[in-house]
Amino acid sequence: MLQSKLFYKTNKNKTAGVDSVSHDLLTRAGYVDQLMSGVYSFLPLGFLVLKKIENIIRKNMQSVGGQELLLPVLQPKENWIKTNRWDTLDILFKVKSSGDKEYAMGPTHEEIITPLAKKMVFSYRDLPFSVFQIQTKFRDELRAKSGILRTREFLMKDLYSFHSTQADFEVYYEKLAKVYANIYKEFGIGKITYRTMASGGSFSKYSDEFQTLTEAGEDIIFICKKCSFAVNKEIKVENPACPKCQNADFEEKKSIEVGNIFPLGTGFSKPFDLKFTDKDATEKPVIMGCYGIGLSRVLGTIVEASHDDKGIVWPKSVAPFLVHLIQIEQNPKVAKATKKLYLDLQKQNIEVLYDDRQKNPGEKFAESDLIGIPYRVVVSERTLAVNSVEVKERSKASVKLVKIKDLTKLF
């Protein structure tokens, strides 16, 4: 991509009225644009990061047999009445059609996937299975805040699993917990993300959240100093000792929930009469689980975890481009060599943002640090004199000269 053509605008100055680093940096580096409170546009740079996150999640969901589908945003009121959530879920956006029909705007999709599964499931032989989608959700948050960390409209992956026995469910649930840990590792936030014991709400005693340590978080978790088991504050209050090792010495940390996995038991299969005929010829309700990850929140969390005072420092796995190619000086020789390198890198399927603009080097470097692409590759008359380019990794301080022919070995 030529930077002169990119649909974005950076801002050197701190964004006014922001309450998180990610909101500030993503806004002024040109990744997102706030349309109104809690509602954001993803500009081309932000969209590229979203797609990277989406692809990592998709690959991992497919690895546990998840089949992708797409469920509607508009949902019938009747389904929400059936689960008693139409009047009780305060974040539910409701919309009325011209024919005076009322719909919910899906904040989650149990009310849709359960009756849909009922059309496919008859016998124990039809179980287990899991389906997922990556789709826009709506929640009427009273307090939308922290940029894209808590919004009214956001991208979410939600997977639903269906089982004939509790034992089968539990095996799958633990498998998903492992896959989740792997996903956060791929996002570059594995070391600061904790599987955290949390309340199970009205469906089960406990659920598991995945909490990433960050000052921008709204949650408090307690990490056992002996065994590193983490519990949400709500659990700690009920249970002052570590549920795993009984130690009572915890570290208290601020964190943000970047995912959760949730035993639903028969909480949805019963109201929707989703049952199956078991081997013993009796009818039983299907046992369900749900497993969510908010993509836009993850994007913000990665920035909270990975930045410095100059800007974002993207992990390679989710960076919008791998290489930020910067041309210094406008003389034809440098321009020609840089353009050739740009085309060569693209031929090798290396994603490159090419700063072809007429700006001074200081301005280009400052913007490059703000945008946060992993490798900055600078071409100038001086570097070309020794058939080289100057390479700086965004996450490191050192700069080195690399022969052009050896450049791609770095990546």
Distance CA 128, CA 304 (A): 38
**Stretch touching a copy of itself by CB under 8 A, among 81-89, 138-146, 197-205, 400-408:** 138-146
Contact of 183 with 57, CB cutoff 8 Å: yes
Q: Is 56 one of the binding residues for a copy of itself (CB under 8 A)?
A: no
**How many CB atoms within 10 Å of residue 177?**
16
Q: Which of 14, 19, 41, 387 binds a copy of itself (CB under 8 A)?
A: 41
In this structure, the chain runs to a length of 411
Binding mask 143-182 for a copy of itself (x = CB under 8 A): ---------xx-----------------------------
Which among 306, 311, 302, 326 has a CA at the least distance from the CA of 375?
Answer: 326
Which among 236, 237, 32, 271 has a CA at the least distance from the CA of 153?
Answer: 32
Distance CA 168, CA 175 (A): 11
Distance CA 227, CA 206 (A): 19
Looking at this protein, which amino acid is placed at residue 219?
Answer: D
3-state secondary structure at position 15: coil
Closest approach of Cβ 175 to a copy of itself, in Å? 16
3-state secondary structure at position 342: helix
Closest approach of Cβ 137 to a copy of itself, in Å? 10
CA dihedral (6, 13, 187, 145) in degrees, to 10, reads -110
Nearer to a copy of itself by C-beta: 22 or 79? 79
Q: Which of 46, 300, 311, 372 binds a copy of itself (CB under 8 A)?
A: 46
Closest approach of Cβ 49 to a copy of itself, in Å? 11
Q: Which of 50, 148, 287, 326 binds a copy of itself (CB under 8 A)?
A: 50
Size of the site for a copy of itself (CB under 8 A): 48
Q: Which of 80, 124, 138, 180 binds a copy of itself (CB under 8 A)?
A: 138
Which alpha helices (DSSP H) does 196-250 contain, by range? 233-238
Contact of 40 with 34, CB cutoff 8 Å: yes
Q: Is 12 one of the binding residues for a copy of itself (CB under 8 A)?
A: no
Q: Is 97 one of the binding residues for a copy of itself (CB under 8 A)?
A: yes
Q: Is 343 one of the binding residues for a copy of itself (CB under 8 A)?
A: no
Nearer to a copy of itself by C-beta: 109 or 392? 109
Contact of 344 with 294, CB cutoff 8 Å: no
Q: Which of 55, 65, 82, 366 binds a copy of itself (CB under 8 A)?
A: 65
Q: Is 393 one of the binding residues for a copy of itself (CB under 8 A)?
A: no
Contact of 366 with 385, CB cutoff 8 Å: no
Q: Which positions lie near a copy of itself, rule CB under 8 A?
A: 5-9, 33, 35-36, 39-44, 46-47, 50, 65, 67-76, 90, 93-95, 97-99, 105, 112, 116, 119-120, 129, 131, 136, 138, 140, 142, 152-153
